[in-house]
Amino acid sequence: MTVLPEQYSTVRTSWHRTVASLPDERPTPTPFHSRQWAAAWQGPHIESALSQRHLLLNDGQYSHRLSYQLSDTNALWKTLESVTRRRHSVFSGPVVYAPSLYSQYGGLPGASTLVLAEAVDRGRQMARETDAQALVIPNLAPVEAAQWTRIRPPDAQVRLFHAHRTLLGAGLQEFAARIPTSKARTQFQRQHSRGTAAGLRLRVVSGAALQPVLPAVHALLEDEARSQTTPRLYSLPLLNALTGIPGALALLAEESDGTLAGAFIGFRHGTTLYLWAETVAHERVGSYTFGWLLAESIRHAAATGVRVLDAGRGHPSFKRHLGMTPVPLTAACYLTKPDARAVSGLREMDTALEAHRRA
């Protein structure tokens, strides 16, 4: 365990109200660490953010940026609690998230331990000043989670999601050949064949063409939330704001009459394609839509030079059966004052979420 005293820190920090006032960083490791991603979540359309601040950290060699959001009604956190059938929320008051819980990956990859320590300390300071119950550093991949928890041990950790990654190789045929079991391979190929026979077609949209298709995507997301009685996660203004992120695109499954049957919203970042949000029209078409859309996305990605597919956090058992590598994403939770009830609730939530993923 490494805990650095304050007097040993040589990191210079400054708070900023907007991302625009911060300098550009060197190339970011993922689209979720980009300046444009942070800016997209800065508007009034996000999940009832009560306050937002952006921290600039400089250790003399590199500058890093981390966005902090104070929220008391985070819809995604409420969704996670609902799937674990909790009767009461773990937190009884506002929480500071750094960055947004909606970032597929969080943390500060490549930052020094001094920078990480300062990020926690400044975040805790903000949480105390705003009467928040906790600072949550969400969606840390395993290496980052180990670094953050070693430098500043949290009060509790919760494994929120799994991302799912796979090398694409030559394309769809090679991917299907690597599916671990014949049952899963047959199911995947059957879904693709049924969708093709039903007339589904893939349309890939990016750039200026994105915004006109987003109302239909948003409508599917809203219908899905209603049918599953879960909180609504994305507003249309938010989806529109995300189109400013470099590499933003939509992969659309359309029926022969042009009706939208399913969609991925994602980001092309270097040679990796990240599928961030996903939705299908369950009531209009058969159960093959998601498998068909994933297969066609793999085909398109490989044909356009993508080497790694990060297939996102939804449908974890389906993606695991296809042989995709699960990447656990952990939240480090730092309470502003001792709270045995909250610690117990977070541990129960961690256990329940893991059981739900394996069900």
- Please write the tens of the pLDDT for every residue from 102-150: 999 999 999 999 999 999 999 999 999 999 999 999 999 999 999 999 9
| Secondary structure element (H or E) that encloses residue 76, with its range | helix 75-83
Question: Does position 95 have pLDDT exceeding 90, yes or no?
Answer: yes
Model confidence band, residue 45 (pLDDT cutoffs 50, 70, 90): low
E strands, the chain, are 12-16, 49-58, 63-71, 95-97, 134-140, 156-167, 201-206, 248-254, 260-269, 272-280, 308-310, 325-335
So what's the pLDDT on residue 40? 86
Round to whole Å and give the CA distance between 65 and 72: 23
pTM: 0.92
Round to whole Å and give the CA distance between 200 and 252: 10
Q: Look at the block and give the residue holding tokens 């773990």.
A: 90
Q: Which of 76-80, 244-248, 281-285, 313-317 has the lowest mean pLDDT?
A: 281-285
Q: State yes or no: cis peptide before 231, omega within 30 of 0.
A: no
Q: 133 to each of 49, 79, 337, how far by Cα in Å? A: 15, 19, 8
- Please write the tens of the pLDDT for every residue from 73-88: 888 898 898 888 877 8
Model confidence band, residue 1 (pLDDT cutoffs 50, 70, 90): very low
- Please write the tens of the pLDDT for every residue from 255-291: 999 999 999 999 999 999 999 999 998 766 558 999 9
